[in-house]
Every structure is written in C-alpha cells, then in structure tokens.
Amino acid sequence: MIQARMGSSRLPGKVLRPLAGRSVLGWVVRAALESGVLDDLVVATTTLAEDDAITAECRRLRVACHRGPVDDVLSRFMGALETHPADAVMRFTADCPLLDPAVARTAAAAFRAVPGLDYLSTGIPHTLPRGLDVEIIGAAALHRVHALATDHHRTHVTSYAYTHPRAFELMGLTFSPSTAHLRVTLDTPDDWALVEAVAAKFGDVPVPRRELVDWLDLHPGVRALNAHVRQKELAEA
C-alpha cells in the first residue's frame, strides 16, 4: 500500500512532480509492482479536493486508489484494507521514487520465513539510505495497532508496533555495510535536486541499491546536495 497526498509542508505537490518522464508516484508504483511480491497494490490518499489529482494519476497508472482521513493515516490504511483484504501490508510512501524492487523482494521473503512475525522493517535499525526502506505488518497486527494507537502513532501508521516491542513480534532487516548516512527520499527542494541528478544519470529505470550507493560514493557533490536536511522526528506532523 502506498500512502500519498499532495500536501507537504516542505515541498507541496512533490508526489506528482515529473521525473524523467513519469510522476514521482509513478516511480513508486512501478518499483512496487516490479518487486513481484504483491497480490494487490492500493494508493491510499485523502478526501481533500487537492488530492483529486492523486486519484486521477492512479486512474492513469491503472492502480487502485482508496480515499480516507487526512491526518489519521492509520484509519486510511484500515479503510483500504477493508476494501482490499490481505494477510499482510507492505507499506510504501509516495515520496520515495528511488525504491529498489529487490529490497522489497528481500523483505517479503524474510517476513514469510518467520512464522508468527507481526512486523518487519529495514529501519530497525536504519542501514539503508533514507528513501529505500521497506516495512511489512501483518493484518492482524495492524488491527491491534488500530485499536491501541493514539496521537502521532495514527499519522505514522506502524510506529505504535515498533515502539512497543514487548507487545509485537518484530524483526529488523539490516544491510551491510550501513549506508544510512545517505538520503534519497523526497521532502525538500534540496532532496529534489539529488533525485533529479540520479534520474539524469540513470534514466527512467529503478536503480539497484548497490549501484546507486556506489555512484553516490563517487560523487560527493551530489551527496552534498541534501546532506544537511534533517529528517522529521516521529512525533512531528
């Protein structure tokens, strides 16, 4: 499931920006589908009029779209899960156009290999560049989170689970060596400058994680474009 909306405090409209011939959302949809591990794909957006553009893009991309609350993203996910039932949900955000399908495949294989697992994330701890992370939560666990979560946990969907490790079976999927110092997500104009540089180099294709990291290592000027950007804290809106 991909959460997407036009609103953004630091870069409004970012998810529909054109990038090498397709929208940013289109990049995420393609990567998710190319992972080959999804039985269904749904874009979860809001009921705001400005997000009519998201539903129009979903129609163009021929992907399902569910509309729900603006800030209670957890309820939005639960509504999408009700109309598109599944045993587990792989969560993506629409501001990560450089998602590597291979990372999603690895995460899915790891989740399936562990009976009784509630939640898996490549962010426990972060070892991938910010913007390549993948997380999976079982449907039963998501229902429990929905019943228990309050405040900012309802915005971040899965955060109640991974901040309550005694209540859920969690697994962290790490990649060595750590490249967590790199940032390839899209939240600010400086992030956009880096993402555009990557697209200008590699073109309109998903870039394998190792190839992307190696190229960034060889181009410190590109890395520096957004190295100063601070990631929002969990409780920030």
What pLDDT, in 10s, does the model give residues 112-164? Answer: 999 999 999 999 999 999 999 999 999 999 999 999 999 999 999 999 999 99
**Domains (ranges, CATH) in the chain?**
2-223 (3.90.550.10)
* Least reliable range by pLDDT among 10-14, 210-214, 228-232: 228-232
Mean pLDDT across 4-32: 95
Residue 29 burial (10 A CB sphere; 0-12, 13-18, 19+): buried
pTM over 0.75: yes
pLDDT tens across 43-85, in order?
999 999 999 999 999 999 999 999 999 999 999 999 999 999 9
The angle, 0 to 180 degrees and rounded to 10, between the axes of the packed helices 52-61 and 24-34 is: 40
231 pLDDT tier (thresholds 50, 70, 90): confident
Q: Which residue has the tokens 């520096």?
A: 224
Q: What is the pLDDT of residue 237?
A: 40
User: Could you give the count of Cα atoms lying within 13 Å of 116 in the half-sphere of its Cβ?
Assistant: 3
Provide the 10 A C-beta neighbour count for residue 181: 11
235 pLDDT tier (thresholds 50, 70, 90): low
> What does pLDDT average to over the chain?
95
- Distance, in Å, from the CA atom of 96 to the CA atom of 76, rounded to the nearest integer, reads 19
206 pLDDT tier (thresholds 50, 70, 90): very high
pLDDT tens across 167-191, in order?
999 999 999 999 999 999 999 999 9
